[in-house]
Amino acid sequence: MSLMVEKLAYLKKLCRLTTEQIARLSGIPVGTLNKIFSGQTKHPAAEQMERISQVFRVSTHYLLDNELPTECCFTARLEEGLFSLSAEEARFITQYRRMDAASQRVLSAMAALLRLPAGLLAGSVPTRRTFCCAISGEADASGQSMRPILLLENDPAVLQADFTVLLGDGSMEPIYPAGSVLLCRRTPAGREDYGLYRLNQVLMVRRLIRRRGIVRLTAPNLEFRDTLVADSDSLDCLGVITGQARCYRWG
């Protein structure tokens, strides 16, 4: 596999684009793209490479220069000079570019708030600031409310959490009652873990079960029926629930 083909595969996975989507955005036929992505076409036309570069928002120089490593598809310039970004930073920038202007402003405000000193919560106990996502299992994910929250740092579970979830329903009873603030870590949930899942446009805290070709999301509260996941559904795990916040303050 040539380095260019490796970079194209990397970008395709990073941007979560199908060949059909790339064809639609670039105006290049699917068959031609398949030959380029597989390496069958050794020397693609300059115009084709330019169109593909525009879809992925990288330079053609990155794709064609074998001296540039695969994960250095993004660069930034500061006073110290030019530097490459990590794969995680590149994924973040890709997601940021897909947001509308209002969402980008919200994200910038959140980042600015997280940079502020968290201060003290109870006497001399230091705290950390993160965000809490309020969910009910019914609302549209795009309309979920995010609130800044202060958590005590003397709890080891808090130090491992990346964000929190305000549980708006009783689906997690008797483990966690409605109104609980749950600690969530940005990592895939295991078979025995409860995670924060986004099914199409709905957020919910559930356990993912795969059995005999059937995928479903289950809650410990038997009053909440299992949610079946079809092949056509969009399902993402946003993190794993690691515990409950015992002492916190909004802000």
Indicate whether 9 and 119 sit together in one domain: no
Last residue of a domain, one of 98, 121, 152: 98
Domain of 84: which CATH number? 1.10.260.40
Indicate whether 138 and 46 sit together in one domain: no
Range of the domain at 87: 3-98
pLDDT tens digits, 158-207: 888 989 999 989 999 999 999 999 999 988 898 899 999 999 888 999 99
Cβ contact 183:130 at 8 Å: no
pLDDT tens digits, 204-231: 999 999 998 899 999 999 999 999 999 8
Cβ contact 11:56 at 8 Å: yes
At CA 180, angle to CA 196 and CA 155, rounded to 5? Answer: 90
What radius of gyration do the chain's Cα atoms show? Answer: 22
Indicate whether 89 and 148 sit together in one domain: no
Written as one string, the DSSP assignment of the chain is --HHHHHHHHHHHHHT--HHHHHHHH---HHHHHHHHHT-SSS--HHHHHHHHHHHT--HHHHH-TTS-TT---EEEETTEEEEPPHHHHHHHHHHHHS-HHHHHHHHHHHHHHTS---EEETTEEEEEEEEEEE-SSSBGGG-EEEEEEEETTSHHHHH-SEEEEE-SSTTTTTS-TT-EEEEESS---TT--EEEEETTEEEEEEEEEETTEEEEE-SSTTS--EEE-TTS-EEEEEEEEEE--SEEE-
Average of per-residue pLDDT across 226-244? 92
pLDDT at 90: 73
Indicate whether 244 and 153 sit together in one domain: yes
Indicate whether 77 and 130 sit together in one domain: no
Indicate whether 43 and 91 sit together in one domain: yes
pLDDT at 173: 94
Cβ contact 62:11 at 8 Å: no
First-to-final CA distance of the chain:
51
Domain of 162: which CATH number? 2.10.109.10
Indicate whether 87 and 150 sit together in one domain: no
pLDDT tens digits, 65-124: 887 777 765 555 555 555 566 667 777 877 887 888 877 887 887 788 777 776 655 566
Indicate whether 88 and 112 sit together in one domain: no
Among 168, 166, 173, 183, CA closest to 137: 168
pTM of the model: 0.60
Cβ contact 160:153 at 8 Å: no
Binning pLDDT at 50, 70 and 90, where does residue 144 land?
low
